[in-house]
Amino acid sequence: MDAVDISRFLTGMTLAVHIIFATIGVGMPLFFAIAEFIGIKKKSAQYIALAQRWAKGYTITVAVGVVTGTVIGLQLSLLWPTFMRIGGHVIALPLFMETFAFFFEAIFLSIYLYTWNRFKNQWIHFLMSIPVIIGGTFSALFITSVNSFMNTPAGMEFKGGRMVNVDPIEAMFNASFFVRSFHVVTTALMTMAFILASIAAFKLLKNKVVKDRAYHQAALKMTMIAGLIFSLLSMLAGDLSAKFLHQVQPEKLAAYEWHFDTASRADLVLFGVLDESTQEVKGALHIPGALSFLSDSSFDTEVKGLNDFPKDELPPLIVHYFFDLMVFFGIFCFVVSFAYVVMLWIKKRNPQHQFLLYTILLTGPAAMLAIEFGWFLTELGRQPWIIRGFLKVQDAVTDANGLVFVTILFAILYFVLLFSATYVLLKMFKNKTAHEHIEHLNRNRGEA
């Protein structure tokens, strides 16, 4: 492997780890805020315990998110110094603002976590969660803006290998910013909902502490309803993304769908295996005209095919698999949450049906995998560019020696972090069951 491959591998590995914790980081605050809100409103210790326990687990994921986020922030300059020299100052504004948002979130998260009993009025403590939600969401928006710039650069001119006449606002609000941010935020909330639902389903299936059932059922109901709402929004975001790609990055969409020849009434290809030399797709499910419809809401829309782009600017065709998997897992989550809400709605049915609980158990991992696949496909889909149309990855990589050495070090680090974070999270709730926690809260209230 040469420097480009190793650097790509290391960057990919860092992001693959970071995105797990970043997604939780963006999604989680809303959930403990909702739980606390219901808890205060209904004067229910059960929901307060829910908020406290979610927030407690969150401290661990946030810690890993913070450190891996710091790593990727600096790795950009360490592995891709030429990219940062050329483009760093154009994306400086969103990067800078991201730090502010993160700062804001960090401050209020600390306050939120350590002041459960400090304010006389419970609503004041609840209010501390608002800046955490805002900070988390905005840091996602700003960092997505940076990534969007790399896909659809704007607000600068390229002269003599440098970016000049920079318009910071135009660069920040580049063409793909809104559609991607929307997708990132909705899928983060969706994923978080399903992860929390998975935990509740797991506890209900295991049924070890019978007294905790009501607590887990409440959590399940709340997260599944949220899951349904956010998966609907995510599908809307996905649809907008496809339409956007059709307009602005057609080579990416064509690669997602192995669409080789420009044509109207283009098929949507599901699954299948590709023979790259003959461009033949085997074993795939073709939905006639669906790609055209997805691109522009009309079956007659002409969709540009891969053969109409320069050969050395094509993304790798493996992205199709990631696309299929992302969509499949996303839709799976939607179907499960839909089924659950229907069961809930029809009073006679039992939404805690064993089979349903097993499928709910799968939604958390499925949603997280969809996030990973989604990022793999969008990042690989930008190849061979690091800044689409302006700078290729091989021209941006570092000249320094020692890449293999640091890659091994980071691989060990991520392994240790993932392993210990899981261990700590699993152990965290062993000592005190939910009903003990609720009783504890009730007791304290009695005294106060």
Partner 1 sequence: MNYELVGISVLWLFLFGYIIVASIDFGAGFFSLHAKLFNQSHQINHLIQRYLNPVWEVTNVFFVFFFVGIVGFFPDTAYYYGTVLLIPGSIALILLSIRGAFYAFENYGQDSKLSWLMLYAVSGLLIPASLSTALTISEGGFIKETATGKIDLNWTALLLNPYGWAVVFLALVSVLYISSGFLTFYAHRAHDHNAYELMRKWFLMWGPPMMFISLFVFLSLRVQNEAHFNSAVWDYGWLFILSFIAFIAAGILTYMKKAHGIAFIFVIIQIGTAFFGYGLSKLPYILYPYIQIKDAVTSDGMAVVLIIAFIGGLLLLCPSLFFIFKLFVFDKDYVRGKK
Residues 249-268 interacting with partner 1 (rule: CB under 8 A): none
Cα→Cα distances 429→53, 56, 90, Å: 8, 9, 45
Q: CB-wise, 17 or 268, nearer to partner 1?
A: 17
Residue 81 engages partner 1 in binding (rule: CB under 8 A): yes
Which of the ranges 78-86, 238-246, 291-299, 348-356 carries the binding residues for partner 1, by CB under 8 A? 78-86
Which of the ranges 34-42, 103-111, 192-200, 260-268 carries the binding residues for partner 1, by CB under 8 A? 103-111
Which of the ranges 98-106, 328-336, 375-383, 384-392 carries the binding residues for partner 1, by CB under 8 A? 98-106
Residue 417 engages partner 1 in binding (rule: CB under 8 A): yes
Q: CB-wise, 11 or 187, nearer to partner 1?
A: 11
What is the distance between the alpha carbons of residues 327 and 299, in angstroms, rounded to a whole number?
21
Residue 422 engages partner 1 in binding (rule: CB under 8 A): no
Q: Are 397 and 82 in contact (CB under 8 A)?
A: yes
Choose which of 6, 16, 37, 73 interacts with partner 1 (CB under 8 A): 73
Helices and strands, counts by H and E, the chain: 15, 8
Choose which of 16, 38, 56, 122 interacts with partner 1 (CB under 8 A): 56
Buried/exposed code over 184-214 (b: 16+ C-beta within 10 A; e: otherwise): bbbbbbbbbbbbbbbbbbebbeeeeeeebee
Q: CB-wise, 5 or 313, nearer to partner 1?
A: 5
Choose which of 88, 272, 289, 365 interacts with partner 1 (CB under 8 A): 88
CA dihedral sign of residues 353, 356, 358, 364:
negative
What is the distance between the alpha carbons of residues 34 and 52, in angstroms, rounded to a whole number?
12
Residue 50 engages partner 1 in binding (rule: CB under 8 A): no
Choose which of 109, 200, 218, 228 interacts with partner 1 (CB under 8 A): 109
Half-sphere exposure of residue 359: CA atoms within 13 angstroms, side-chain side:
17
* Minimum CB distance to partner 1, residue 156 (Å): 9
Residues in region 143-172 near partner 1 by CB under 8 A: 164-169
Residue 421 engages partner 1 in binding (rule: CB under 8 A): yes
* Minimum CB distance to partner 1, residue 12 (Å): 16
Residues in region 184-243 near partner 1 by CB under 8 A: none
Residue 270 engages partner 1 in binding (rule: CB under 8 A): no
In 10 A of CB 421, how many CB atoms? 17
Q: At what angle do helices 319-345 and 354-380 cross, to 10 degrees?
A: 150
Residue 428 engages partner 1 in binding (rule: CB under 8 A): yes
Cα→Cα distances 205→13, 198, 218, 357, Å: 34, 10, 15, 7
What is the distance between the alpha carbons of residues 92 and 89, in angstroms, rounded to a whole number?
5
Interaction mask 356-395, partner 1, x per CB under 8 A: ----------------------------------------
